[in-house]
Structure 1
Amino acid sequence: MSSTSSWITPATRPDLIENLVSGVDRYNPSNVSILEDYLYHQIRSQEYDCLANLAILKLYQFNPALYNPDVVINILIKALTALPLPDFNLCIALLGERPATANQDEPDPLPSLLPSLTLLHASLQQCRFPAFWTLFKSEELENLRDNYTIEVVGFEDSVRSVVVRAVRAAFTKIGRDRLGTYLDLSGDALNAYVSKLEWSIDQSTGIISVPPNPDNQVEATVVRENIQLPQLSKIIAQTALTV
């Protein structure tokens, strides 16, 4: 997800899905089950394909009878970890009004979970990472954890990847305890995670050094004006004519 091309066409997308997403068949309601199966493959394999998931939501928009709230919730969960890309907001924009008769056997879980999912997204987007973990692990979101995110392989590590991207862009050094609250890790688990990132820790001070990268390095920019004398003469002459 580091480039536009990989967002539009992920390397892990099968040819069958590529044909569906890229052609007019993406609007064929008979293909929705194929796209839903592909979503659950993403959930099990830690892969991600935003355009394929958006195609599901578009089909639900055009064909309200196809609406499956569990699928929508899983799409939003996957989109949460795509930050800083705008995937979550793109998904929200396609939800629209949901049919009142959908999923008649049990209540629609989306209306109760959507505000919390939106708050989780806002916390990540605003880099309020401790607030994210507090809300995510709260009693209020027990249903989300027990019935949805538990099925998403590597969900918490995917959230930590969002944190790492933000930390890399903003810090050259960060305290171990502070980073621990961002990652919801402590002790040996935190040390192992930092070691995996190949970041160095000063054990005496607890300061973690973030390797230099284009985002966390401040470089002075020198702007030079290159105006030749003939150009300046034209400007002065034009000014004299307008006075």
Structure 2
Amino acid sequence: MAETMKQTVATILKSIERYNPANLQTLERYVEMQSRENTYDLEANLAVLKLYQFNPEKFNADITCQILLKALTNFPHTDFTLCKCLLLESVVENETISQIKYLADILEQCDFAQFWNRVHQMPELCNRISGFHDSIRKFVCHVVDVTLKHWVKKYGWRDDGNLIFIANQDENIKTKNITEKIEFDHLAPLMALL
């Protein structure tokens, strides 16, 4: 059934039928299937939001929330921003959608502790998206990986597979040979004093 649905949606999206409001129910069922089966189709989700834009009376807040949460699972890509730009102003004022936008903001700012606190306050919303938590963890790992690589390079540390060798200051000390040219005639008066 999932493959049939996927093929049906692909056919809709390749034609002018993507703008036909009669196809909205099929596309909405496809969004729900993505949420259940941990799949993701940005193009189909954008088509749903575009249909809501053209037909505001058919707007479904629940489907929109699922689309936004699925877009969050694809961070660091800009899918969430694309989806957000297709929302009508009246839709953005919806409390649940505002909460999801806030989640995206704090996730983008890498405030991971605050993000997880907020997610735990809205389990009924996030738990509906299969693989949501793991996808976000994958993004967090990506950020940490990129950050650590930056620091390793910046400070000249050495990455040896599973270990990072931090440069020791003693290794950076350079010895200098100092040569002084003092003639014996200049030292004679000092020697006489001793």
C-alpha contact (below 8 Å) 2:106/2:115 kept by paired residues: yes
The answer as to 2:117 corresponding to 1:134 is: yes
Note the C-alpha offset of 1:115: 2.5
Match of 2:107 among 124, 132, 142: 124
Q: Name the structure 1 match of 2:167.
A: none
Structure ranking higher in helix proportion: 2
The answer as to 2:155 corresponding to 1:161 is: no
What does residue range 193-212 of structure 1 map to in structure 2 within 5 Å? none
User: In 2 relative to 1, CA 14–114 (structure 1 residues): closer, same or farther, beyond 3 Å?
Assistant: closer
Note the C-alpha offset of 1:46: 0.7
Cα distance in 1 between the residues matched to 2:99 and 2:127: 16
C-alpha contact (below 8 Å) 2:119/2:126 kept by paired residues: no
Provide structure 1 residue ranges, at least 5 long, that are not aligned to the other structure: 1-12, 100-108, 175-198, 201-208, 211-243
RMSD between superposed Cα atoms in Å: 2.7
C-alpha contact (below 8 Å) 1:123/1:132 kept by paired residues: yes
**TM-score, length of structure 2 as denominator length:** 0.70
User: In 2 relative to 1, CA 66–56 (structure 1 residues): closer, same or farther, beyond 3 Å?
Assistant: same
What's the % identity of the aligned pairs? 36
Cα distance in 2 between the residues matched to 1:165 and 1:152: 21
Cα displacement string for residues 20-71 of structure 1 (whole angstroms, at most 9, x for unaligned residues): 1222110011101111111111101111111100100110111122111111
Q: Name the structure 1 match of 2:158.
A: none
Note the C-alpha offset of 1:96: 0.9
Provide structure 2 residue ranges, at least 5 long, that are not aligned to the other structure: 152-160, 165-194
Match of 1:38 among 30, 55, 58: 30
SS of 1:137's equivalent in the other structure is helix
Pairs aligned (count): 152
SS of 2:94's equivalent in the other structure is helix
Q: Name the structure 1 match of 2:49.
A: 57
* Letter in structure 2 aligned against 1:70: D
* Letter in structure 2 aligned against 1:84: P
Cα distance in 1 between the residues matched to 2:138 and 2:51: 30
Q: Computing the radius of gyration over CA atoms, which structure comes out larger, 1 or 2?
A: 2
**TM-score, length of structure 1 as denominator length:** 0.56
